């Protein structure tokens, strides 16, 4: 069985699904392929939190509102936060960011990835996007002036334009031979949800330690309980030791590492451990092919910006494709796709470089660098305008924003 489409998106995660929704009702025939069943799951508000969450910026929220998915997330579980507190665990430097400083209601929302995904799926199921579930990409080859995709379920898709939204280990990127620059951070991230004695105060907390950053991200808590999602980046040996602990020992170690800022950790859900690796494609596009989201770039989780970068990729690519269609241009033409690359690659590279610099600075053991990071945190804390600039950037109130994400 063969399907023909003008645009074929491989990967129906948050970024691929957002791109598909941005192209719905455009007159384009769009196919979305994924290995999952592509069916939203019933939501139980009493269920435990999913371990994987995303810190969605205000720009991402605006995108989801315009795509019709935000209400579905709110009906499940979203956790707004208004403040961020960052400090150096090996010194005295600290900094506080607040939404109030730029007259915004909040800095963003912590949302479980499953909640985001299911809200997007609800919108896709009622759209003109053709979904192909339970199918993995097995072969990708040139066919005439386009591509022929062979899937694990026996189906084939012929298309002039393939978009890789299939994650950090992208099969599309591998099969198309797209080169990357990548390196191992030599760190693993432990993620889970924990209950603390004290309320998180709608604040994202981040402590930088010698062996890596530790973040506590606020979760919407049941009455009388205080929950946070944690991302603990540490060395592989330390991560292995932490994963081997029982829940009580892990909670005690986590309380010490976090300086018990929210009181002792009382309980912890099952933990996941994820190796951290930085990756960036040398090119995001070639004739008839575009990479978006983690297929194009992965970033250290310390800033929580990975999914926001991917969503902006999706919005900019959709915008450029729709503009090209209005002008009567061929969507698969590399000149069309390069407009997307020119808008997104510099922004992504700049943020990746900044995060790499932060990561290296806070891993440094030398006294001059310790002094520099403590002095720098104190200096920025004393400059309201500099902090407001950072907050506006994080909120998505500045820069080259696509229409879907503009205020």
Segment 381-397, tens digit of pLDDT: 554 555 566 666 667 66
% of the chain at pLDDT higher than 90: 73
Segment 110-162, tens digit of pLDDT: 999 999 999 999 999 989 999 999 999 999 999 889 999 999 999 999 999 99
At the top level of CATH, the class of 2-182+277-405 is alpha beta
Rounded CA separation 144/127 (Å): 30
Q: Confirm if 335 and 49 have CB atoms less than 8 A apart.
A: no
On whether the pTM is more than 0.75, the answer is yes
| Nearest CA-CA partner of 34 in 134, 159, 173, 116 | 134
Residue 353: the pLDDT is: 66
Q: Confirm if 56 and 176 have CB atoms less than 8 A apart.
A: no
Segment 59-88, tens digit of pLDDT: 999 999 999 999 999 999 999 999 999 887
Q: How many C-beta neighbours within 10 Å does residue 376 have?
A: 14
Rounded CA separation 164/314 (Å): 11
Q: Confirm if 159 and 149 have CB atoms less than 8 A apart.
A: yes
Provide the 3-class DSSP secondary structure of residue 278. Answer: strand
Segment 24-66, tens digit of pLDDT: 999 999 999 999 999 999 999 889 999 999 999 999 999 999 9
Q: Where are the domains of the chain?
A: 2-182+277-405
Q: Is 134 left (phi over 0), alpha (psi -120 to 50) or beta?
A: left
Beta pairing partners, 95: 86
Provide the 3-class DSSP secondary structure of residue 134. Answer: coil
Residue 192: the pLDDT is: 97
DSSP H helical ranges for 214-295? 236-244, 247-257
Output the six-digit token pair for 228: 């946070």
Residue 400: the pLDDT is: 81
Q: How many C-beta neighbours within 10 Å does residue 212 have?
A: 27
The distance of Cα 49 from the centroid of its chain, to the nearest Å, equals 18
């Amino acid at each position: 069985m063969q399907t023909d489409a003008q645009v074929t998106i491989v990967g129906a995660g948050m970024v691929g699904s957002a791109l598909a929704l941005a192209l719905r009702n455009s007159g384009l025939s769009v196919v979305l392929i994924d290995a999952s069943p592509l069916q939203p799951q019933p939501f139980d508000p009493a269920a435990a939190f999913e371990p994987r969450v995303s810190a969605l910026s205000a720009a991402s929220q605006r995108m989801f509102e315009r795509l019709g998915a935000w209400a579905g997330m709110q009906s499940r579980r979203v956790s707004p936060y208004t403040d961020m507190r960052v400090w150096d665990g090996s010194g005295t430097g600290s900094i506080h960011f607040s939404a109030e400083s730029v007259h915004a209601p909040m800095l963003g929302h912590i949302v479980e990835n499953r909640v985001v995904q299911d809200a997007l799926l609800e919108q896709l199921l009622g759209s003109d996007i053709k979904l192909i579930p339970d199918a993995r990409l097995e072969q990708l080859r040139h066919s005439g002036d386009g591509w022929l995709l062979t899937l694990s379920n026996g189906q084939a898709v012929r298309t002039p334009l393939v978009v890789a939204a299939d994650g950090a280990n992208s099969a599309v990127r591998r099969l198309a031979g797209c080169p990357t620059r990548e390196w191992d951070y030599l760190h693993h991230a432990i993620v889970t949800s924990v209950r603390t004695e004290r309320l998180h105060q709608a604040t994202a907390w981040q402590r930088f330690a010698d062996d890596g950053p530790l973040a506590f991200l606020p979760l919407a808590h049941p009455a009388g309980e205080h929950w946070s999602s944690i991302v603990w980046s540490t060395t592989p040996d330390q991560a292995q030791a932490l994963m081997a602990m029982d829940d009580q020992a892990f909670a005690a170690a986590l309380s010490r590492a976090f300086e018990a800022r929210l009181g002792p950790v009382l309980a912890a859900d099952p933990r996941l451990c994820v190796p951290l690796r930085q990756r960036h494609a040398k090119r995001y596009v070639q004739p008839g092919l575009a990479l978006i989201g983690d297929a194009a770039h992965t970033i250290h989780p310390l800033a929580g910006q990975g999914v926001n970068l991917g969503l902006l990729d999706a919005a900019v690519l959709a915008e450029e494709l729709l503009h090209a269609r209005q002008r009567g241009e061929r969507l698969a033409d590399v000149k069309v796709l390069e407009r997307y690359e020119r808008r997104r690659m510099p922004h992504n590279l700049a943020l990746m470089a900044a995060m790499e610099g932060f990561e290296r600075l806070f891993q440094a053991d030398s006294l001059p660098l310790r002094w520099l990071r403590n002095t720098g945190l104190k200096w920025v804390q004393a400059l309201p305008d500099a902090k407001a600039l950072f907050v506006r950037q994080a909120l998505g109130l500045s820069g080259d924003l696509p229409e879907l994400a503009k205020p």
